[in-house]
Amino acid sequence: MKKVLLPLFIVIFAFAAVAQNTSVQKIDPASVVAISKQAATTGRETGQPEVMTSSVVRATSADPVGHSYYDLQTNASLSKRIIAHEDGTVSMVWNASNTQATSRGTGYNYFDGTSLINNSMPIGRIENTRTGWGTIGTLGTGSNIGEVVVSHNGTTGLAILTRETKGTGTWKSSELQGPSISNGITTSTCLLWPSIATVADTVHLIACTDQNADNPFLYEGINVCLLYYRGVYDRSTQNVTWTSPVIVGDMTSAKQTHFSGDSYSISANGNNVAVLYGENPTDIFYWLSNNGGRNWEKHIIFDTPVPDAFDARVHLVLDTPFVADGSNSIIIDDNGIVHVAFSITRLLNDSLATPTYKWYPLYDGLIYWNSTMEPLTDESDPAHSLDPTSLEARGIQVFRRLDLTGEGSVSLLNGNDVHITSYYKTVVSMPQLAWDNNNVYITYCAEVEYPFVQWDMSKMYRGVFAAKSTDNGATWNNNEISWISYGPNFMYMDWRAYDGLDDPNDAEQVVFAIKNYSECTFPAISNVADGKINILWQSAYLPGSYIRENGDLPIPPTVCTTTVDMNWLQIAADSIGIFNNYKEIPTGVWGLGVQTHNSIKDVNIFPNPASNHVKVVIETTENAPASLTVTNLLGQTVHAQQISISAGTNVLDLNVSGYPSGFYMINIKTSTGNSTKKLIVQ
């Protein structure tokens, strides 16, 4: 499908038109139309070389660590992507790609305690072949720390990269092939979507066997089977020796027809290893090993009323039970307590005519649970065991979308699901956990409310939030949540305002805070080291994942591939809940941050498109010095000059004959006014 380039600042023009036809309201998730989904969805991974189209390139913070044209970091749960070392250094990885998906691989950057080793927003991969879903772990103990990165190549197995010293040196490459499986047509050793946890020189690894929608590869009767490997690193050879694969726990084809890509997470601490799984419509459970992965015991967190080995062509589910949405995290603390976070949705299968079921994307329950608590199943009403309201009444912590405006309700665009982005995840999801000295930390992704809207798509943006519990998860303060991704570094627009406020229902007369946010998703959290915590996440101009939409859903022609930035924040762990406390931000967002007067009433450009000269017509209410700036879509200034404008109409001539063909933005700015318009040069 053709990918259409969207200009960065198009929201200025789209805002008024959309706002006039869009109201804001609080929507009951139960009223939202369910969205169909394939029951056998296993994850996004094909060998097709998608062509990535350049869009907006923008460094969104003082600490951008990488850049990519591939905007999907996970199908569901995020593997380990960032590690803080005791000496103050930090290692981080992500899915990276240049403009061709064949260049996809693991992006890497390293903070040496003073600066990043690569300050030029690296876009390249550390592997020498196409891979994806890279995850990182440490090797060794004390001051002798190395690194291991595991990714999948999508064809023959997993790419294993090791090196003796973190942050420096040559990566040694090897491959871990899965069991040879036949689907009656061909055989495959492919392993997909790896996740690892390391303890000293031991690597605990989980990954899925190959997928094929038409002719599945069955391992022990299970399609896309989740396997566990234990590897031991030998420093003398820099090789990892792997055990034979095992199906973790007691999984059989009678209980589980298939697994779903990334709907699992893993943690290890000493001899304790835990693997969490939860995907609609399965049970939510974890397997725990107390002897380094040699034996496992299954622990049920939630026993779903949906039948085992659910098949949408066989089973009807009409009471819309609450189920997991596949996005989860697990961590084991020093006391052996297992901490879990997962997000929920609802399930409906009202027809056996198609192999699909329906899910409800607006449920905003992100649940925290630990192994000192009772299982969450309510035997009297299993279908509603995970109802967020019921859980809160039972004392279970549930994270929801936040009332960022302080108005007492969460404001959404009308039209029910029109604002939903297609991560196949609910509006509060993508959790990751960290633990230190009885403090539990969580970071997650949530939709932010109006006016943080990408107007030309009518989609709500998402943001990254973080919270902490100081009593090992027993209690959480819902008033102490940090909006990690909020700030001027993550806004694509300046504040704008419209004068003449005499009709609050007229979108062109109401003062709008349209400082356009960026889509901030896939947050990864590090361990605590030296009292600090690190968070890595992706930001993009357009909400949603183009990669996911293009692969799994029909999309409108206005959707395009965006270039994305990987952003890194290091803060004191104690400041979680204080830094950017969401309760304090409304004053800055909807109060002090908004211009109450814009002296520049209008700017027009003609001819547009142009090839030689254009007239820039400025309507203003003041006599003032001003700046005229022309930028391209890379955010680079191609022309700048100082001008003087007078109250009324001003006409300036601008020579664009030397500009390459493309989109440009012309900005006029004074001390009390600001306006930007799009120019097309042919």
Report domain extents, the chain. Answer: 11-592, 600-681
Average pLDDT score over residue span 131-156 = 95
State residue 160 phi and psi, 5-degree precision: -110, 120
pLDDT at 193 over 90: yes
Q: Residues 586-614: what's their mean pLDDT?
A: 66
Considering the chain, what is the average pLDDT of its residues?
A: 81
What pLDDT sits at residue 490? 53
Residue 354 is predicted with a pLDDT of 82
pLDDT band at 413; cut points 50, 70, 90: low
Residue 357 has pLDDT above 80, yes or no: yes
What's the pTM? 0.79
- Write out pLDDT tens, residues 103-132: 899 999 999 999 899 876 778 899 999 999
**The pLDDT of residue 241:** 97
What is the structure's pLDDT at 667? 81
Most confident of 339-353, 578-592, 601-615: 339-353
Q: What is the pLDDT of residues 618-629, one digit of tens each?
A: 988 888 899 898
pLDDT confidence of residue 8: 24
CATH of 600-681, one of 2.60.40.2550, 3.30.360.10, 3.40.50.2000, 3.60.15.10: 2.60.40.2550
Contacts of 197-200 spanning 24+ positions with Cβ under 8 A: 197/80, 197/137, 197/266, 197/267, 197/268, 197/273, 198/137, 198/138, 198/139, 198/148, 198/268, 199/268, 199/269, 199/270, 199/292, 200/139, 200/140, 200/141
> What Cα–Cα distance (Å) separates residue 130 from each residue in 117, 156, 548?
23, 12, 18
The 10s digit of each residue's pLDDT in 420-434 is: 776 878 899 999 999
- Per-residue pLDDT for 551 more than 80? no
Q: How far apart are CA 527 and CA 331, in angstroms?
A: 10
Rg (CA), the chain: 26
* Phi, psi angles (nearest 5°) of residue 488: -60, -20
H or E stretch at 332: strand 322-332
Position 508 scores a pLDDT of 39
Q: Give the burial string for 408-437 (b: 16+ CB within 10 Å, else e).
A: eebbbbeebeebbbbbbbbbbbbbbbbbbe
Sorting pLDDT into bands at 50, 70 and 90, what band is 671? Answer: confident
Whether pLDDT at 588 is above 80? no
CB atoms within 10 A of CB 38: 13
Sequence-distant (≥ 6) Cβ neighbours of residue 104 within 8 angstroms: 70, 95, 96, 97, 125, 130, 131, 132
pLDDT cut 70: percent of the chain above it = 78
Task: Annotate 224-265 with DSSP letters as a single string.
Answer: S-EEEEEEEEETTTTEEEEPPPEE-TT--TTT-SB--TT-EE
> Does residue 601 have a pLDDT over 80?
no
Q: What is the pLDDT of residue 36?
A: 63
Give the up-direction half-sphere exposure of residue 338: CA atoms within 13 A in the CB hemisphere. 26
CA distance 95 to 538: 10
Apex 555 CA angle, 515 and 348, nearest 5: 100
Tell me phi and psi for residue 331, to 5 degrees: -150, 145
Alpha carbon separation from 628 to 74, 400, 409, 637 (Å, rounded) = 42, 44, 41, 11
Higher-pLDDT residue of 248 and 471 is: 471
Instruction: Give the pLDDT of residue 213.
Output: 80
Is the Cα dihedral 133, 443, 344, 137 positive or negative?
Answer: positive
From 33-37, 46-50, 236-240, the region with the lowest mean pLDDT: 46-50
By the 8 A CB rule, do 96 and 70 touch?
A: yes
Residue 589 is predicted with a pLDDT of: 46
For 13-45, how does the pLDDT look when each residue is reduced to its tens digit (9 = 90+)?
222 222 223 333 444 444 455 666 654 445 666
Q: What per-residue confidence (pLDDT) applies to 563? A: 72
Give CA–CA dist 111/109, Å, rounded: 7
222-231, 321-330, 462-471, 500-509: range with lowest mean pLDDT: 500-509
User: What pLDDT is attached to residue 509?
Assistant: 33
pLDDT in tens, 280-338: 888 999 999 999 999 999 999 999 999 888 888 888 998 899 999 999 999 999 999 99
Indicate if the pLDDT at residue 634 is higher than 70: no
